[in-house]
């Protein structure tokens, strides 16, 4: 077993080197700053518009690389480039500090969206960079964004952007799973960066866990729903109310496992394990392998055209969650899912010739054509985060087996 784990760790480290090298060589913008993420298989840029999510995610990744492995000038410079680009170009200061969704290569605003994930990744990046640099202004930026998100998600303030909800709230309003699960993970990053406010982060994390299980988790249906009513109502007569995103649920499961480990809460850990198993059993494609992107909880036709595609990031989340669950419990089922997923990723996502992973596969496991390594939604985040976390967990597991 130890030899198998060392072999897996060797592959993980090779993939991390290739991934980071790919983005440093092809993604970083030496002219305007920040990162380009619309890259083809070889790393050629096919769109110069910049995703604001990805500026924050990239900054977090390179700051975290420094914090985990030791500072390298090129890693720190990449983090600083993305942080500076966001600060100069991605914040609508006339609209309460809300952030754009996309900007031009120069940083001119293109699009703003209702949800606040740009702000979330901005907060994560600044918090992680504060742990590297000790620059107080980064911590203050992270704190301010963290508070803004809380107020927006809880209806404690009017959204300065003023776009309003997607649906007419008098007809149908509800809750999105993404809000509490992402805020739970953000709270963990903030807690590590800002121990002065541990009590606040603990309180907010507890509320996020409560929201996930009170409203979205449907154990009797063996699923976790993306969208529910304000009181957790199941909208079973419309497609939006039946959506399960297995990869999202699996990501949520390891956020919950981390919280359970912090609290030494065995019951919460078991609930997270159950959430993982329901999601992967519902979403794993029994014919072609890999995880389907969306499934309908009642087995009806999903509305999203991409529902039967295989995307890179859910498979990254499986590796993290399965390895974490096996490390924590020793249960064979999690090791089996880890091995099965790694085998699939080696066969279909990994690209040793050019580095990084294909982002989007057809159901049969072949890359969409022409293939790409990045997009508005894919940049240096999910894959390097998984590889860094897996490397650290394998270090921990192997040290106990010596």
Say what the pLDDT of residue 69 is: 98
**Mean pLDDT, to the nearest integer, of 165-181?**
89
Q: What is the pLDDT of residues 34-43, one digit of tens each?
A: 999 999 999 9
DSSP run (H or E) holding 50: strand 50-51
What sign does the CA torsion over 99, 101, 107, 110 have? negative
Which of 1, 32, 21, 41 has its CA nearest to residue 349? 41
Query: 6-10, 114-118, 126-130, 309-313: which has the minimum mean pLDDT?
Result: 114-118
**Mean pLDDT, to the nearest integer, of 273-299?**
98
Q: How far apart are CA 335 and CA 325, in angstroms?
A: 8
Which strands sit side by side in the sheet containing 102-103, from one edge to the other? 50-51, 102-103, 109-111
The percentage of residues in the chain with a pLDDT greater than 70, rounded to a whole number, is 100
Q: What is the pTM for the complete model shown?
A: 0.98
Say what the pLDDT of residue 33 is: 98
For residue 115, give every residue at least 6 positions away whose Cβ sits within 8 Å of its Cβ, in sequence order, or none: 176, 178
Domains of the chain (ranges, CATH numbers): 1-164 (1.50.10.10), 171-371 (1.50.10.10)
Say what the pLDDT of residue 401 is: 78
**Mean pLDDT, to the nearest integer, of 348-377?**
98
* Beta strands 102-103; 109-111: pairing state: antiparallel
**Mean pLDDT, to the nearest integer, of 370-376?**
98
Q: What is the pLDDT of residues 141-160, one digit of tens each?
A: 999 999 999 999 999 999 99
**Mean pLDDT, to the nearest integer, of 270-288?**
98
Q: What is the pLDDT of residues 195-225, one digit of tens each?
A: 999 999 999 999 999 999 999 999 999 999 9
Contact 345, 319 (CB under 8 A): yes
Q: How far apart are CA 35 and CA 78, in angstroms?
A: 8
What sign does the CA torsion over 206, 388, 62, 312 have? negative
Say what the pLDDT of residue 162 is: 81
The answer to whether residue 402 scores a pLDDT higher than 80 is no
**Mean pLDDT, to the nearest integer, of 265-287?**
98
Say what the pLDDT of residue 170 is: 80
* Beta strands 91-92; 98-99: pairing state: antiparallel
The answer to whether residue 364 scores a pLDDT higher than 80 is yes
The pair of structure tokens assigned to 344 is: 């699939």
**Mean pLDDT, to the nearest integer, of 288-311?**
97
For residue 172, give every residue at least 6 positions away whose Cβ sits within 8 Å of its Cβ, in sequence order, or none: 229, 235
The answer to whether residue 340 scores a pLDDT higher than 90 is yes
**Mean pLDDT, to the nearest integer, of 80-99?**
97
The answer to whether residue 88 scores a pLDDT higher than 80 is yes
**Mean pLDDT, to the nearest integer, of 358-382?**
98
Mean pLDDT across the chain: 97
The answer to whether residue 4 scores a pLDDT higher than 80 is yes
Q: What angle do CA 63, 256, 230 make, to 5 degrees?
A: 110
Q: How far apart are CA 177 and CA 180, in angstroms?
A: 6
Say what the pLDDT of residue 163 is: 80
Say what the pLDDT of residue 168 is: 79
The answer to whether residue 164 scores a pLDDT higher than 90 is no
Q: What angle do CA 371, 372, 377 make, to 5 degrees?
A: 140
The answer to whether residue 31 scores a pLDDT higher than 90 is yes
Residue 330 pLDDT grade (very low, low, confident, very high; cuts 50, 70, 90): very high
Q: What is the DSSP string of 372-384?
A: BS--SS-SSSHHH
């Amino acid at each position: 077993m130890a030899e198998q784990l060392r072999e897996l760790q060797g592959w993980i480290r090779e993939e991390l080197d290739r991934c980071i090298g790919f983005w440093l060589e092809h993604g970083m913008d030496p002219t305007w700053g920040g990162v380009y993420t619309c890259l083809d298989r070889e790393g050629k840029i096919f769109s110069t518009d910049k995703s604001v999510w990805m500026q924050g995610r990239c900054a977090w990744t390179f700051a975290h690389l420094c914090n985990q492995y030791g500072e390298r000038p090129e890693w720190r410079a990449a983090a600083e480039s993305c942080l500076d680009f966001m600060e100069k170009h991605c914040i609508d200061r006339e609209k309460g500090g809300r952030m754009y969704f996309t900007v031009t290569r120069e940083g001119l605003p293109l699009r703003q969206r209702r949800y606040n994930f740009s702000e979330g990744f901005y907060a994560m990046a600044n918090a992680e960079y504060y742990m590297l640099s000790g620059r107080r202004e980064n911590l203050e930026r992270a704190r301010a964004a963290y508070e803004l998100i809380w107020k927006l998600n809880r209806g404690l303030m009017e959204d300065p952007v003023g776009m309003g909800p997607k649906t007419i709230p008098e007809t149908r309003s509800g809750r999105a799973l993404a809000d509490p699960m992402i805020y739970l993970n953000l709270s963990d990053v903030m807690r590590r960066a800002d121990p002065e406010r541990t009590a606040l982060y603990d309180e907010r994390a507890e509320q996020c866990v409560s929201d996930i299980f009170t409203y979205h988790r449907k154990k009797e249906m063996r699923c976790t729903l993306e969208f529910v009513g304000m009181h957790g109502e199941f909208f079973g007569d419309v497609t939006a109310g039946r959506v399960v995103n297995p990869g999202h649920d699996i990501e949520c499961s390891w956020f919950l496992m981390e919280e359970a480990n912090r609290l030494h809460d065995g019951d919460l850990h078991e609930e997270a394990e159950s959430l993982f198993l329901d999601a992967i059993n519902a979403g794993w494609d029994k014919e072609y392998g890999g995880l389907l992107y969306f499934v309908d909880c009642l087995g009806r036709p999903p509305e999203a055209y991409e529902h039967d595609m295989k995307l890179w990031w859910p498979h990254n989340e499986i590796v993290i969650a399965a390895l974490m669950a096996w490390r924590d419990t020793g249960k064979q089922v999690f090791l089996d899912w880890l091995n099965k997923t790694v085998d699939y990723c080696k066969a279909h996502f990994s690209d040793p010739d050019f580095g990084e992973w294909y982002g989007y596969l057809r159901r049969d496991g072949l890359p969409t054509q022409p293939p790409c390594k990045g997009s508005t939604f894919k940049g240096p985040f999910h894959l390097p985060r998984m590889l860094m976390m897996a490397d650290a967990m394998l270090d921990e597991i192997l040290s106990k087996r010596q």
